Amino acid sequence: MIQQWLTLVLNIAVAVLAVTLVALATQLNISGAGFTGVGLVSIMSFGTMLASIVRQYTQLELATGALARLKFFSEDIPDENGESIPLSVPEEWPSTGNIEICDVSAGYR
């Protein structure tokens, strides 16, 4: 929401600046039409660049927040069983590649 608001405010500011430039150029007759056109194109590309910077910054902020939440989750959330999970497994595990299933039954009604 903030990204959309900032983009809207930037676009309005650029529009006001462009209208001001055109009004000054037409009323004061200081420069030719070519310089006025170059000025308008420069202002519009500056507005596009600012909007892109705002968009990239908000995406960076979202990614940084997600990484902070993951870091908090991995470091500060206790184990559900109250037991600590070993960080490494023994070197002899698994000693064999066998799966042994004993005393198992299944059914449905």
Distance of CA 106 to the CA centre of its chain: 48
Would you state the pLDDT for residue 80? 67
| Region for residue 29 given its phi and psi (left: phi exceeds 0; alpha: psi -120 to 50; beta: otherwise) | left
* Cα(39)–Cα(107) distance, integer angstroms: 79
φ/ψ (deg, to 5) at 9: -65, -40
Q: Which residue has the higher pLDDT, 36 or 101?
A: 101
Distance of CA 101 to the CA centre of its chain: 48
* Cα(7)–Cα(51) distance, integer angstroms: 6
Least confident among 63-67, 80-84, 101-105: 80-84
Q: What is the pTM for the complete model shown? A: 0.55
Domain boundaries, the chain: 2-76
- Judge whether residue 61 has pLDDT over 70: yes
Segment 7-39, tens digit of pLDDT? 888 889 888 988 888 888 878 876 677 778 888
| Region for residue 102 given its phi and psi (left: phi exceeds 0; alpha: psi -120 to 50; beta: otherwise) | beta
Would you state the pLDDT for residue 85? 63
